[in-house]
Structure 1
Amino acid sequence: MLLKIISFLLLLGSSASAVNYTGPVGHREAFLANSGGAMIDSPGNVLLNPAGLGFRQNKETALSVSGNAVARQEFNVSQYSVDPEEMTVRPLLAASVFPTQYGTMAVFLANPTAFRIYGGSEYTTSGVAVKTLLRVDYQELATGVTFANTVNSDLAWGVSAGVSMETQKSYGYTRAFQTGVTAATSFNLTEQKTISLFVTPGLLYKAADFWHIGLSMKTLADISSTANTQRFATSSSSPTTVEETDRSFDPNGTNPFAYRLGQEFIFSPANSLYFDIVYVSATSAYNSNNEKYLNDEVWEGSLGYRHSLSGSYELLTGYAYTQSQSADFNMISAGLSMNRRNNEFIVGGYYLSNTPKDAASSGYNSYGILFSSNVEY
């Protein structure tokens, strides 16, 4: 049971998080539940499909900033006397897009994934009562450049490349007790850091006036990967003696590939439907005992809708579902876009729920306010 919980939390904090995003990311894409694989001319193209910038017609430089104004996470962990919760404020994306003689370029800094997740279980096996509490703190930062251009009036290409840094801290407490026999407790602290190069090439094809198709892929190549784990344990046979171990190791095995197929259906200049499918390949990693464990492949589907209202306002909304062998994610997001000349400001919110498939593991909910602005000058 402990292994299942650890695997579930490591899935959330593994390199798979660096190629697929279960939370909102991008500019308009964040309010469409990340369904932007076929979107044209959005600063969020740098993350999901850089080819979207190839069709950019505006010759002005644009600066975009988006983020979570407030985000709240709630956890269902029965072993806590008080339900743990977290409040966070963080940027999602800062990007500058500008024209060049040869096409459209962009530079960007993103914090697409950051979370603090709690887990726990309490069960009895072979007469031994085992209780575990776990917490994982995860952060990803990515910076890079994008270049995009058209092949012809119907086909564009683009590529984003840069450096990604993932940091993760895992805290674990385990207590095992059997009446009249033995009792033991242990505390584990694991810290790891991975620096990787990433490349995201993409294509966007205007199959018809009402139908656009986008295809992109993201892959990682590690520059460095380090980790250290410390364990402190006591037992009833020697309650005054603390056993300490300290190990350094390389946690990463194989990195994932992520493939995104996006479509945009244009019903009218005021109404569009977006539909994305994402596949993330299976990965592997190693623990402090040099034991290899696998993270299963991940599938995601997202659906977004854009509807123009009166004046210069647009309604954006979307739903995404992510499935793995360990857990299911559901995300809903929505926002109101306000356009003035070539400037755009969007404000809205999102709700994300996680349901582990192991009934003994703990799930969580996250919700908050989103904002994004894009200024051209």
Structure 2
Amino acid sequence: MKSLVVVTILFLIAGSEAVASLFLSPVGHREAFLGNTGAGLVQSPGAVLFNPAGMAYFKDRPAVSLSGSAVSYQEFSGQALTRETGQLKSETLLGSAIFPVEAGLRMGVFYSYPGNIQDYLRSSSIENGAEVTDTSELQRQAAVGGIAYAGMIDADQSWGVGINIAYRELNGLVLSQSVSSGASTVRLQKNVEQQTSLVLTPGYMWRVSENYSFGLNVQWKALNVYSEGDQYINEFSSGDARPSEDFSRYTPASESMLGFTLGQVWNVDGHRLLLDLSWAPHSGYREMAVGRIRRCQKIFPLAGRLRCCRILIF
């Protein structure tokens, strides 16, 4: 039986307001089961997302693929299943069709949910003598559809480019209760942000030999098409006759997205080694306005630029 080893190394550098990640969930035909490693894979239907240049190696017949993944996590407390501390659900989908256009040229069309995450978090702390309890629910969704082209440069090298329309939505709900000296304050904040953008994904692939290949892929948000956010706040303190309410509409900051991935594949003695090195100086997943309230670091724990190394042996 072939062995499988997965090693993930993350280096976070604080100082950026973006959550640094190219894909927040496992997605892809083979890539989802390889820890989203696949920038150096040839002839994978997931190449439309991870490196369009990999499509050029498909034979002269159509290839159709539909794949999905689901991850669920919930913490236990004692003998009972509870939601006291944390919960995470993630579901993804990728459908793609790759077919020859003419000799040496391939075209792919695809639609994907590369990020569909639901988080639940509850925390308690003491701040300035007051007992504070925060309960938050956050849902991050992303849908990407587009078209990709790939062609051979020579017998071993290929190029590719994807033209994608990406839609992202963030729904955040935070309930905060503060109790101090018999007085209490309850604050409810609801945020919804929607963004639609044009993303370009050029790529390059070189199959150096039968035992080694590498690819380079770039993800770049070239244009922000649509961006809107809505915020609702309801706050009530003991002694108040009625709660205060505030509704506002705003334009979320258009964060740039730029990421690079270098993928390498080795075939050694019947085993395959995959190594992906990713660097994302800017990511499209921005902290919502809801993250700017107190406790934002617990709601959005991954702040900073990301360098990621993914190694798999199977």
Q: Name the structure 2 match of 1:199.
A: 200
2:173 to 171, 174, 178: 171
When residues 280 and 75 of structure 1 are mapped into structure 2, their CA distance, relative to the original with a 3 A threshold, is farther
CA–CA separation in structure 2 for the residues paired with 1:94 and 1:289: 33
When residues 62 and 72 of structure 1 are mapped into structure 2, their CA distance, relative to the original with a 3 A threshold, is same
When residues 22 and 254 of structure 1 are mapped into structure 2, their CA distance, relative to the original with a 3 A threshold, is closer
SS at 2:53 equivalent? helix
2:227 and 2:254 in contact (8 A); partners too: no
Q: 1:147 aligned to 2:149?
A: yes
Structure 1's consecutive aligned runs of 4 or more residues displaced over 4 angstroms after TM superposition are 14-17, 75-78, 84-88, 283-286, 288-291
What CA deviation, in whole Å up to 9, does each residue of 1:211-265 have, x standing for no partner? Answer: 2111111011311110101011101131x31100001111223222111010001
Q: 1:305 aligned to 2:305?
A: no
CA–CA separation in structure 2 for the residues paired with 1:271 and 1:155: 23
SS at 2:56 equivalent? helix
Residues matched between the structures, number: 285
Q: Which residue identity is paired with 1:187?
A: L
2:56 and 2:158 in contact (8 A); partners too: yes
1:23-102 pair list within 5 angstroms: 23-56=25-58, 58-68=59-69, 70-75=70-75, 82-83=82-83, 85=87, 90=91, 92-101=93-102
Using the TM superposition, give the Cα deviation of residue 59 of structure 1 relative to its aligned residue in structure 2, in angstroms. 1.0
1:75 and 1:118 in contact (8 A); partners too: no
Q: Name the structure 1 match of 2:267.
A: 266
Q: Name the structure 1 match of 2:6.
A: none
CA–CA separation in structure 2 for the residues paired with 1:87 and 1:178: 35
1:107 to 97, 106, 109: 109
Q: Which residue identity is paired with 2:142?
A: E
CA–CA separation in structure 1 for the residues paired with 2:89 and 2:178: 32
Q: Which residue identity is paired with 2:307?
A: W
Q: Name the structure 2 match of 1:162.
A: 164
CA–CA separation in structure 1 for the residues paired with 2:276 and 2:288: 32
RMSD over aligned Cα atoms: 2.9
Using the TM superposition, give the Cα deviation of residue 271 of structure 1 relative to its aligned residue in structure 2, in angstroms. 3.1
When residues 112 and 124 of structure 1 are mapped into structure 2, their CA distance, relative to the original with a 3 A threshold, is same
SS at 2:27 equivalent? coil
For normalisation by structure 1, the TM-score amounts to: 0.69
CA–CA separation in structure 2 for the residues paired with 1:193 and 1:76: 33
Using the TM superposition, give the Cα deviation of residue 177 of structure 1 relative to its aligned residue in structure 2, in angstroms. 1.4
For normalisation by structure 2, the TM-score amounts to: 0.82
What CA deviation, in whole Å up to 9, does each residue of 1:273-319 have, x standing for no partner? Answer: 1110111114566738999x99411222222334xxxxxxxxxxxxx
Unaligned runs of 5+ in 2: 1-16
Q: Name the structure 2 match of 1:276.
A: 276
State the structure with bigger RCO (CA 8 A, min sep 6), 1 or 2: 2
CA–CA separation in structure 2 for the residues paired with 1:31 and 1:288: 33
Q: Name the structure 2 match of 1:186.
A: 187
Unaligned runs of 5+ in 1: 1-10, 307-377
1:278 and 1:301 in contact (8 A); partners too: yes
What CA deviation, in whole Å up to 9, does each residue of 1:182-227 have, x standing for no partner? Answer: 3211111111111111111000112333221111110113111101
